[in-house]
Homo-oligomer: A and B are copies of this chain.
Amino acid sequence: MRPLFHPSVEDVPVEAILHALSDPVRVAIFAEIVGQNCSHNCVAFSNVNQKSIPKSTLSQHFKILREAGLIRGERRGVEMYNTSRCAEIDKRFPGLIGAIVTAHNIQLADGARTTKAIKRKSVKRIAKNR
């Protein structure tokens, strides 16, 4: 299996970072990894947000986080060890990751109200039904 691709932080545009974190499943995964400041394998997340997510989908999510320079994935035996690359990103874009993770946590804490609208789709629906 060929080694995973990890871009150097200078090659990652902010847009890619924002895009990677604009998905509810991916911010959740990333916030976990940052929070624990340690590893986590793919399967550990198979029910983020009370939903069971197919592993092909999860695999994609991790790939997007990796290619946005947000995490580093390292094979450890049969499973994957993921760590955040916060420190590196923070050098280039100070405060960015912190602010996003904080915002995510604030939203989590807000609870019920926002959990209903956590999918992008919902926002659009709200907007539409005005």
**Which residues from chain A sit less than 8 Å from chain B, CB to CB?**
5, 7, 10-19, 21-24, 27, 67-68, 92-96, 98-100, 102-104, 106-107, 110, 113-114, 117-120, 122-124, 126-127, 130
Contacts and interface: CB of A to CB of B under 8 A. Distances in A.
A11 B95 contact: no
19 contacts: A10-B110, A10-B114, A11-B117, A11-B126, A13-B114, A13-B117, A13-B118, A15-B21, A15-B23, A15-B24, A15-B120, A16-B123, A17-B103, A19-B19, A22-B22, A67-B127, A93-B106, A95-B95, A96-B102
B7 A126 contact: yes
Nearest to A28: B15
Contacts of A19: 18-19, 22, 120
B24 A120 contact: no
Contacts of A22: 15-16, 18-19, 22
B18 A123 contact: no
A48 to B, nearest CB: 13
A68 to B, nearest CB: 8
B10 A104 contact: no
